[in-house]
Amino acid sequence: MIAVLLAWFAQDAVGAVPYQKLATRAATEAAMFDALRPGRAAFGDFWLLSPFDYAGHGKDDLARHRGPQDELARCVAGGPGPDLARAWPGKNGVEARWQNLGPQADKKIDLRVHERDKLNDLATCFVWTTIDAPAAQKLVLDMGSDDGMRLWCNGKLLVDIDVPRGLDPHAHRVALDLVAGKNHLLFEIAQGQGGWDLQVTTSQALSPQQDCALQALLDRDFPLTDEHRHWRAYTLPVPQDIVLEVGGIGFFADGTPIVCTRRGELWRVEGAYATPPVDARFVPWASGLHEPLGLTVRNENGRDAVYCVQRGELTRITDEDGDGAADRFACVSSGWGVSGNYHEFGFGPKFDAAGDAWVTLNVGFCGGLGKAVVPWRGWAVKVHPDGSLEPWCDGLRSPNGFAQWNDGEFFYVDNQGDWMATNRVGHLKKGAWHGHPASLRWRDDLAEGAKPPLQPAAVWLPYKKLGQSVADLALDTTGGRFGPFSNQFLCGDQTDALVSRVDLELVDGEYQGACWRVLGGLDSGVNRVAFAPDGSLFVGQTDRGWGSVGRKRFGLQRVVYSGREPFELVHVRATPTGFALETTQDIDPRTAADPASYAAASFTYKHHGDYGCPEQDTQRLTITAVRVLSPRRIELALEPLRAGYVHELEAAGLRSATGEPLLHPQCWYTLQRVPKAP
């Protein structure tokens, strides 16, 4: 593989166009775009002016003249553009000033930039950018906003819509009459509540193959973050006529990936393991499913059988005649209910050693609250080989992914929301209740109004510190082929387009453990993670309806370990007096023994019906002792240790024996049980 990679990079070309490395990634990318798309119009930086008062939808308030519209006189073709130094009186007396957002074409722009929510709701903002055209031309752009939008090009109003809606980057197709030289776009975006976004999708993007090749070269020369020096993320070139909103990933017996999409299609991905996968092909395998959000391939009697969870059933799909496309669809079980509520997602399956298929079921979403109006919503269930269904445990809200740990126990991830303080990893223990009360209506072992004991989170993932919408779990059984995190869970984050990891231990009968960031800067929201037979990690992505950062709206990436081992905390274990830290490399004894190298705090969350919960009862902890136990093991004594609290640990001063800092110096350990002293 290394020889193939070196041979490919030796070409240093994107198709027939030679690649030339310049001083920065942005400059190199811009020069390559110019070479690959000669004569293209070029977008400038995007600038934001926010916030201003807005009365709300249905009140014709977006059409009201606001002061910044006076700048339209300067935003004519060839004009100077708005006075970026000028301040404006904004919402609630806040002074609004222009702020540079940088290059934002073809990206979702999150306009909720204010710390106070009251400035992010019932407000409008202005966004300005320029388009430099080498010659007069008509440029067609797709664009959309959450919520209403007005758009002027060179002072002419082209879009004027004031409605509540989610972001659809293709909601408007707008033809711009550009003059040679500088052209101005000025947007005003209304905001009711919830998301507040803008996206301008240009029609000048590179072909998927060009994008794949160029991004691989840019990542080689200009890694997006230090993380990308240890893991390379290769973007598979999705054809422009395929909307690959990945709902599940599996692998045929020969290692070929197969993915299902939220639009009900299944695609066999050929050539996915090339580095980079410029010639990967998406071959149709099946279609017509109802939003499948999970996929597992099992070898049964020498034949690949694909299992998917649709909204209403677990389906077994096979290619009976061997022509490379599915032709038999069999319902294995439809033992749960579907009311038609948009939020009634179903996830899975994953199979255990007994051949049982595990499935997790979303609650519906009604009036801002989770509801289980039909059977087994908010539950994890097992489907036995005979198709019978066994309810297993409940209290789940949005259990978007689950997997088996080393000892055979299943764990799932849940999203922040009503009754869920933040993202969590939970142990799917028989009969356990994970906290959402909607599912309790399907129990027959409780008196009316009663609640069972609350199953504690095995790991809390602190909101925004480590993602915002956790999705999926994959156990690293690669034996080091993906790096130093064997037998730990990797999980995705759909909002922040990143991968994190979770390391569990069993203490006094309860699972608990630590979590860290692994790799960010991925193309779109991470919805599925799956290890391939070669030890690489396939990452399936989508942002529709859920929103995410990233340069794409959906896609598939393959993450490969570079072989360069990061200096990391590979394990954190609870002790009777604190925590034992284990590193991937030998440590510098001086910094390891210095209490000033470490900091710690703890906090907890409320279990309540509100949407999410900020950190509660935060307390700084005292490092009372540090012991260096071996070249890779340190023991910290802390006061006070608090059971039921998340302990935030930071080792910013720790260095390796070669002087290298930790790649990720911060982690969070959910301490449900303090170990007893031996």
SS3 528: strand
- C-alpha 284/C-alpha 501 separation (Å) is 33
**DSSP per-residue letters across 35-75:** HHSTT--EE--EEEEEEEE---TTTT-TTS--GGGGGGGG-
* pLDDT-wise least confident of 191-195, 388-392, 626-630: 191-195
The burial class, CB within 10 Å (0-12 / 13-18 / 19+), for 561 is: buried
582-602 burial code (b ≥16 CB/10 A, e <16)? bbbbebbeebbeeeebbbbbb
The residue to which tokens 């803008």 are assigned = 198
Which residue in 159, 133, 108 sits closest to 44, CA to CA? 133
List the one residue out of 497, 506, 618, 500 whose CA is nearest residue 550.
497
pLDDT above 50 for 275: yes
Q: Is the pLDDT of residue 9 over 70?
A: no
Q: What is the pLDDT of residues 324-381, one digit of tens each?
A: 999 999 999 999 999 999 999 999 999 999 999 999 999 999 887 899 999 999 999 9
Record the pTM. 0.86
pLDDT tens digits along 82-137 = 999 999 999 999 999 999 999 998 888 999 999 888 899 999 999 999 999 999 99
Residue 440's nearest CA partner among 397, 364, 358, 378 is 378
Is 42-202 in CATH node 1.10.1660?
Answer: no
The answer, yes or no, to whether residue 261 has pLDDT greater than 50, is: yes
Specify the 3-state DSSP secondary structure of 674: coil
123-178 pLDDT, tens per residue? 999 999 999 999 999 998 999 999 999 999 999 999 999 999 988 888 899 999 99
Give the amino acid at 535. Answer: G
The Cα–Cα gap between 317 and 313 comes to 12
Those residues whose C-beta lies under 8 Å from the C-beta of residue 308, and which sit 6 or more positions away, are 248, 260, 266, 289, 292, 294, 295, 314, 315, 317
Residue 6, pLDDT score: 43
- Assess whether the previous peptide bond of 164 is cis (omega < 30° from 0): no
CA distance 30 to 224: 16
Which residue in this structure is represented by tokens 């203490």?
507
* Cis upstream peptide for 142 (omega within 30°): no
According to CATH, where is 2.60.40.1220 located in the chain? 569-671
H or E element at residue 207 = none
**What integer is the mean pLDDT of 197-220?**
90
Phi-psi region of 563 (alpha: psi -120 to 50; beta: other; left: phi over 0): left
**Per residue in 229-259, pLDDT tens?**
999 999 999 998 999 999 999 999 999 999 9
Mean pLDDT of the chain: 95
**CATH hierarchy code of domain 223-561:** 2.120.10.30
What does the pLDDT average to over 525-533?
98
Q: Which CATH architecture has domain 569-671?
A: Sandwich (2.60)
What average pLDDT does the segment 13-36 reach?
Answer: 93
Looking at the chain, the domain(s) classified CATH 2.60.120 span 42-202
Q: Tell me the C-alpha distance between 151 and 77, whole Å.
A: 15
What are φ and ψ of residue 589, in 5° steps?
-60, -35
Q: Which two structure tokens, joined as six digits, stand for 461?
A: 């993932």
Q: How confident is the model at residue 203 (pLDDT cuts 50, 70, 90)?
A: low
Q: In the structure, what pLDDT confidence band is assigned to residue 2 with cuts at 50, 70 and 90? A: very low
How far apart are the C-alpha atoms of 374 and 269, rounded to whole Å? 36
Under the banding of pLDDT at 50, 70 and 90, the label for residue 11 is: low
Alpha carbons within 13 A on the beta-carbon side of 474:
31
- DSSP-assigned letter for residue 663: S
Instruction: Tell me the one-letter amino acid at 490.
Output: L
Exposure string of 110-136, with b = 16+ CB inside 10 Å and e = fewer, is bbbebeeeebbbbbbbbbbbbbebeee
The angle, 0 to 180 degrees and rounded to 10, between the axes of the packed helices 208-221 and 25-36 is 150
Banded pLDDT at 206 (limits 50, 70, 90)? confident
State how far the alpha carbon of 537 is from the alpha carbons of 251, 491, 520, 558, in Å.
12, 11, 14, 6
Q: What is the 3-state secondary structure (H, E, C) of 534-547?
A: CCCEEEEEECCCCC
CATH 2.120.10.30 in the chain, residues?
A: 223-561
Question: What number of CA atoms fall less than 13 Å from residue 613's CA on the CB side?
Answer: 20
Secondary structure class of 442 (helix, strand, coil): helix
Name the 3-class secondary structure at 11.
helix
